[in-house]
Amino acid sequence: MEKFATHTGVAAALKRSAVDTDQIIPAVYLKRVTKTGFEDALFANWRQDPDFVLNQPAFAGASILVAGADFGTGSSREHAVWALRDFGFQVVLSPKFADIFRGNAGKQGLVTGVIGEDDLEAIWAAIDAQPGIEMTVDLHERTAVLGELRVAFDIDDYTRWRLLEGLDDIGLTLRNEDKIAQFEARREAWRPRTLPVR
């Protein structure tokens, strides 16, 4: 997982609240056997509408999603985060996230910043005024800047630290690799081994 410090990219306004994981990625895509390559699945139903925000040329390549409250509710599928990430999103800002979605996002390197309702309206207005405008998200400062607008967002200290360090769960465990190696060195000889094949 890459370290996250600051990111600048096109911000897209998803003017809906309670966007559930079934909307983010419909269940039919869960049959796949990969953890990557879900860009086509993101908001698959909505994207059939030519007017959907991500179908607008101004938002091609958007990497910051600014959505209404209660983003990521519904089933706990990790695929929702994969789809956002694969499409190119690095940050989602919303007044409120579903807990499980937030947890999954933090583990996969997707920043979820909580913003105030007033700030949400202000950002949406700024995007409407200038579609395709870029936003700069600073995780150290916990701020999002677009044009004249400067907004503070919340993210818990632990998740922020992991994102700044680029640590997924495995990376976190591997910080103890010396202890794992020490443990392995004193493992008894009788313990099972699948190799060599007898």
Partner 1 sequence: MSTTISDRPRTLAEKVWDDHLVVKGENGEPDLIYIDLHLVHEVTSPQAFDGLRAEGRPVRRLDLTIATEDHNTPTLDIDKPIADLTSRTQIETLRRNAAEFDVRLHSLGDKEQGIVHVVGPQLGLTMPGITVVCGDSHTSTHGAFGAMAFGIGTSEVEHVLATQTLPLKPFKTMAITVEGELKPGVTAKDIILAIIAKIGANGGQGYVLEFRGSAIRSLSMEGRMTMCNMSIEAGARAGMIAPDETTFAYVKDKPHAPQGQDWDDAVAYWRTLPSDEGAVYDAEVFLDAAELEPFVTWGTNPGQGVSLSDVVPDPASFADPNERAAAERALQYMDLRAGTPLKEVPVDAVFMGSCTNSRIEDLRAFASVIEGRQKADNIRVMVVPGSARVRLEAEAEGLDKVFTAFGAEWRFAGCSMCLGMNPDQLAPGERCASTSNRNFEGRQGKGGRTHLVSPLVAAATAVLGRLASPSDLPAVEKVGA
Binding interface with partner 1 (CB under 8 A): 1, 31, 33-36, 78, 107, 168-170, 173-174, 176-177, 179-180, 183-184, 187-195, 197-198
CB closer to partner 1 out of 129 and 185: 185
**Smallest distance, partner 1 to C-beta of residue 1, A:** 7
Is 155 in contact with 111 (CB distance < 8 Å)? yes
**Smallest distance, partner 1 to C-beta of residue 59, A:** 26
CB closer to partner 1 out of 129 and 181: 181
**Smallest distance, partner 1 to C-beta of residue 156, A:** 15
Count how many residues are written for the chain: 198
CB closer to partner 1 out of 129 and 197: 197
**Smallest distance, partner 1 to C-beta of residue 36, A:** 6
